[in-house]
Amino acid sequence: MTVHSKLMVANWKMHGSLAANASLLADVLAGMADVLCRSAVCVPSVYLAQVQALLSGSSIGLGAQDVSAQASGAYTGEVSADMLRDFGVRYCIVGHSERRQNHAESDVLVATKAQRTLAAGITPIVCVGESLQERQAGQTEAVVKRQLAAVIHANGHCISEIVVAYEPVWAIGTGLTATPEQAQQVHAVLRAQLQAATAHADRVSILYGGSMNATNAVELLSQPDVDGGLIGGASLRAEDFLPMLKAASR
Ligand code: PGA
């Protein structure tokens, strides 16, 4: 359980266009009247300026999907944490499984990215999660603890300022969701690990991600240590995303 209200974060991944973003956010913003939870949208970097303008004056926070592990310099193609801050970015996903897999991001690299975002005043959303093979081998706890331990080790007393997202790799984009019990079990492990590292573990929101939708959100969000969601596919349509924001507002 966290002291904060629930946090629902959209991960647009590599979707969108200038026209589609404007239309999606117009629909979402029009339905925000009874939304009481915290929310954010993590958008492709090229759209940060557009979405910053569209969200100005709203309660939806702006987020990025990745950040460079370097502060600045000769790193062609990379975007630094300070650059993200320039555009009003408040959250940044680090260590998403698609980056760990497709870009061979290590636990240490992910921890460094978390450090860079915190130094820039941006909240890192640190993703952890096991593959299907790891779950079947009974390694779920060991994997997520190893991934989080690297971030705790690198960030010391700042650790209470991160957000954690538990995203079982086998549930991402597959339509398979962890059961509320499976999610709670892992979230409790992560909470205990944070408690051992900081007296302020109750400030850390632990999100669930992986095929979360308007139907399964209610039960997942009712688990004591599920403090919100990181939502991919179901965040791309206002008619899917808004009911989830409302489920998190109860
Ligand atoms: P999904 O993606 O909701 O489409 O499964 C979640 C994520 O990868 O963050």
Domain CATH number, residue 166: 3.20.20.70
Nearest CA to ligand 1 atom 7: 232
CB atoms under 10 Å from CB of 157, counted, come to 10
* 50 Cβ contact list (under 8 Å, min separation 6): 18, 21, 22
> What was the pLDDT predicted at 96?
98
Mean pLDDT to the nearest integer, 129-151: 97
233 CA closest ligand 1 atom index:
4
Is 58 a member of any domain? yes
Alpha-carbon distance values, 50 to 18, 23, 27, 53, 226 (Å)? 8, 12, 16, 5, 31
The residue segments making up the domain with residue 99 are 7-247
Is 108 a member of any domain? yes
Task: Determine the distance separating the centroid of ligand 1 and the alpha carbon of 242, expressed in angstroms.
Answer: 16
Number of domains in the chain: 1
* 128 Cβ contact list (under 8 Å, min separation 6): 95, 143, 144, 147, 148, 164, 165, 166, 167, 190
Is 14 a member of any domain? yes
Is 141 a member of any domain? yes
234 CA closest ligand 1 atom index:
3
Model pLDDT for residues 40-73, shown as the tens digit of each residue? 999 999 999 999 999 999 999 999 999 999 999 9
> What was the pLDDT predicted at 228?
98
Reported for 153-158, long-range contacts at CB under 8 A and 24+ positions apart, including other chains, are 153/111, 154/108, 154/111, 154/112, 154/114, 154/115, 155/111, 155/114, 155/115, 155/118, 157/198, 158/118
Rg (the chain; Cα; Å): 17
Mean pLDDT to the nearest integer, 147-163: 95
- What is the distance in angstroms between the CA of the first residue and the CA of the last residue of the chain? 15
> Is 85's pLDDT higher than 90?
yes
> What was the pLDDT predicted at 70?
98
> Is 250's pLDDT higher than 90?
no
> What was the pLDDT predicted at 171?
94
**Contact yes or no for 144/131 (Cβ under 8 A):** no
Alpha-carbon distance values, 90 to 96, 114, 134 (Å)? 17, 13, 32
Please, which residues bridge with residue 91 across strands?
A: 63, 123
> Is 157's pLDDT higher than 90?
no
177 lines ligand 1 (CB under 6 A): no
Q: What is the mean pLDDT of the chain?
A: 97
> What was the pLDDT predicted at 138?
97
Is 2 a member of any domain? no
Is 1 a member of any domain? no
Mean pLDDT to the nearest integer, 95-116: 98
The kind and range of the H/E element at 126 are: strand 123-128
DSSP state of 202: G
Model pLDDT for residues 176-215, shown as the tens digit of each residue? 899 999 999 999 999 999 999 999 999 999 999 999 999 9
Residues annotated as catalytic (active site), given as ranges: 96, 167
DSSP state of 6: P
